[in-house]
Structure 1
Amino acid sequence: PARPLVWRTPLTGLMTGTAEPGLTAAACVLIGSTGFDGITRTTYWRDNVDPSSVLAGTLGLAAAIAAVAVLYTAALRAGAHLTGQDPAALPGRFAATLLPIALGYTVAHYFSFLVLEGQTTFILLGDPFGTGLDLFGAAGNRVDHDLAGPALTAQVQVNAIVLGHIAGTIAAHDLALRSPDRALRGRLPLAAVMVALTCAGLFALLSG
């Protein structure tokens, strides 16, 4: 039988502790790739790396993803050592708590792109074949760059990153409370990594 639709508390699905296959890798790729996108917009990257270099971009992307994966795995293995748990089981169990962070990074880095290109898409959809149609009454409209001005974009970016990390930390803390040993000291390394990712994300934004 079909399952009924129900209202659920936000983040409930993040705290089941189920180690879904591939979730750890997917979360690390989401955070690492979006973080690398932020790095490429920094003054340091633009001044020191050829933007047309495929090799530099590929190596940088791989390094960013690897850094996130290593930090995350090392933090949980350190936590497992402190609590006597199986170090191989924890990365998959806590992987879902990285998803709010990935969402925050995505919103921060692509907010202005969505707002500006979204307007362009809407205008073009009104006359998709260039035949003079005006399906949405948007003919002659121009992209309003003020909708994604510097001040608003900066506010959205900072809030998205901070709130994403807060949500991820809360989810990880709640999941830790549900563990058999409830040894919160074992989650300190993961909390430290989340704080480090927050600082790195904000640094990349402020260095742009």
Structure 2
Amino acid sequence: MTRVRRLVSIVVALVLATGTVSAHGAALRESAGSLSIPTWLFLATGGGVVGASFLLATFATDRTFVRRSHDHARVLAAVPRVLRAVVAPLVGLLGLLAVLAFGFGAAVDVAPADPQQNLAILLVWVGWWAGYVMSLYLVGNTWPALDPFRTIARALPSLDREYPGHWGAWPAVVGLLALVFVEVALPLAEDPGLLAAAVAGYGALTVTGAVTFGVDDWFATADPVARAFDHYGRVAPLARTDDGVVLRMPGAGLVDATGETGRRADGPSASDADATAGGPFADAGGVAFVVALVFATTYDGFVATPAWRSIAEAVHAPGVPGVLVYAIAYALGYLAFVAVYRWAARSGRRTGDTFVAVDELARRFAPPLLAIAAGYHLAHYLGFFVSLSLPLASALAAPTAPPAPQLFVLPSFFGGIAITAILVGHLLAVWVAHAIGFELFPERLQAVRAQYAFVAVMIAYTTLSLWIVSQPTVTPPFL
């Protein structure tokens, strides 16, 4: 227990020592007030709920109950082919054209330049990154049908080169980390033209990759956005299978994703990578991508807090460039997340008294982290989406001349929604880890003991997440 308590303290300290920023959030909305619930109550309640849920799952469930709950699925309806093959791709292409037109249009004064009036900025940050991403883990991944770059790549001739197997998911890891840092370093939420250029550049790169290595291989393995959305879709209670849309237990797709048979019952996000043993988490790159995705969810919150402002100003004072401050903290933060997760895998092997390799434990227990990422995303962006829904609606109704922006004033109970989203995400992560432990280990006690370190990390992350949402939002310095 002493080691576990020490680990929790180390995790929190490492995370708080790293820096991240929400450039689009700071540019689009005013500083938000802190929640009225005392901070100590956030932290104590969050950690206690996660720990208690682990004990409850341990003593109140058995292997048969867990397996039945995840295997049960009810067919709801079939998805019309015209919707998947015609309507959704057309909507995605129209959205891309709108972003490019109104982004570049603002640069030549034919579209509004105000971030709260420009359709490109509102569509990307409010409609897509906030609103649409929430739909992925709530109702399933529809991005394969909507993705305009996938649609464009399918219409082009392919070079049909074999995707290098040793690359694995590492291009997606590098791509995700690069995209997040570009969001930090560049004012993409303030300059519509710069945003349009970034979208065009990303599109050119991903279409080139898809044309070179094939659409299925590229988007299933190497494209960071497609892979991230696939992972979020596995959290959802809805899935698209060969039988149609089915209703299942939330997180069931996360359990399926770790299996050796590559079952394809994880929703519209069902990736071609599942055809291989181990699914999308078969290699170290797949695990590193999950950790990067979890790190990115924290990234959008911490640097908009007063604590980060104080740390960044202290480091910047001797003359360290502001961007370098963010870059160093960004790199150290991600490495700290990776190191802590690897520690959990090594500790799980020891406490579980198992011959299962550390890499295998890391692979099998990575998917539960996606439920944590989804819960934090909902907590961080629900209020952002609702408050800016009026400017988005106005820009959609009159894109060339929208009225003066008016933000929707959030009611006080939104603070409770944020807390609930974080806790539900962590509770779901504990349950999924419990189910995976039962699948992996033959003995009940062994399955439970192997999870100790992973649950300790979840408790630490719960505490950090609740602390972030309890802080007032401030403008990140130097950017």
Q: Same fold (TM over 0.5)?
A: yes
The answer to whether the 8 A contact 2:388-2:408 is kept is no
The answer to whether the 8 A contact 2:290-2:370 is kept is yes
Q: Which residue of 2 aligns with 1:160?
A: 421
Q: Which residue of 2 aligns with 1:28?
A: 291
Q: CA deviation at 1:106?
A: 0.9
Matched, 1:185 2:449: yes
Deviation per residue, 1:12-61 (Å, 9 max, x gap): 11112234244322221122122132211221112332498211222222
SS at match of 1:7: strand
The answer to whether the 8 A contact 1:39-1:45 is kept is yes
Highest RCO, 1 vs 2 (Cα 8 Å, sep ≥ 6): 1
- Scaled by the length of structure 2, the TM-score of the pair is 0.38
Q: How many pairs does the alignment contain? A: 197
Q: Residue type matched to 2:242 in 1?
A: R
Matched, 1:78 2:317: no
Write the distance in 2 (CA, Å) between the matches of 1:207 and 1:125.
32
The answer to whether the 8 A contact 1:15-1:171 is kept is yes
Q: Residue type matched to 1:121 in 2?
A: L
**Distance change >3 Å, CA 201–CA 123, structure 1 → 2:** same
Q: CA deviation at 1:204?
A: 2.0
The answer to whether the 8 A contact 2:391-2:407 is kept is no
Write the distance in 1 (CA, Å) between the matches of 2:291 and 2:251.
19
Deviates more, 1:116-125 or 1:159-168: 116-125
Q: CA deviation at 1:170?
A: 0.7
Q: Which residue of 1 aligns with 2:243?
A: 4
> What pairs with 1:1-208 in structure 2 (closer than 5 Å)?
3-5=242-244, 6-16=246-256, 17-18=258-259, 19=278, 20-21=280-281, 22-50=285-313, 53-82=322-351, 83-84=353-354, 85-130=356-401, 142-146=405-409, 148-149=410-411, 151-182=412-443, 183=446, 184-208=448-472
The answer to whether the 8 A contact 1:108-1:158 is kept is yes
The answer to whether the 8 A contact 1:32-1:67 is kept is no
The runs of 5 or more residues in structure 1 that have no matched partner are 131-138
Q: CA deviation at 1:64?
A: 2.6
Q: Residue type matched to 1:196 in 2?
A: A
Q: CA deviation at 1:142?
A: 4.9
SS at match of 1:145: coil
The runs of 5 or more residues in structure 2 that have no matched partner are 1-240, 260-277, 473-479
The answer to whether the 8 A contact 2:389-2:408 is kept is no
Q: CA deviation at 1:141?
A: 7.6
**Distance change >3 Å, CA 60–CA 157, structure 1 → 2:** farther
The answer to whether the 8 A contact 1:32-1:61 is kept is no
Q: CA deviation at 1:105?
A: 1.3
Deviation per residue, 1:77-100 (Å, 9 max, x gap): 211123222111111112111111
Write the distance in 2 (CA, Å) between the matches of 1:54 and 1:190.
33
The answer to whether the 8 A contact 1:36-1:60 is kept is no
Deviation per residue, 1:145-186 (Å, 9 max, x gap): 32x24x333212211111111110110011111223331111
**Distance change >3 Å, CA 101–CA 141, structure 1 → 2:** same
Write the distance in 1 (CA, Å) between the matches of 2:363 and 2:418.
28
Write the distance in 2 (CA, Å) between the matches of 1:207 and 1:140.
32
Q: Which residue of 1 aligns with 2:187?
A: none
Q: Which residue of 1 aligns with 2:42?
A: none
Write the distance in 2 (CA, Å) between the matches of 1:25 and 1:195.
20
Q: Residue type matched to 1:7 in 2?
A: L
**Distance change >3 Å, CA 88–CA 112, structure 1 → 2:** same
Write the distance in 1 (CA, Å) between the matches of 2:250 and 2:441.
23
Q: Residue type matched to 2:399 in 1?
A: P
Write the distance in 2 (CA, Å) between the matches of 1:71 and 1:48.
22
Write the distance in 1 (CA, Å) between the matches of 2:394 and 2:378.
23
Q: Residue type matched to 1:9 in 2?
A: M
Q: CA deviation at 1:189?
A: 0.7
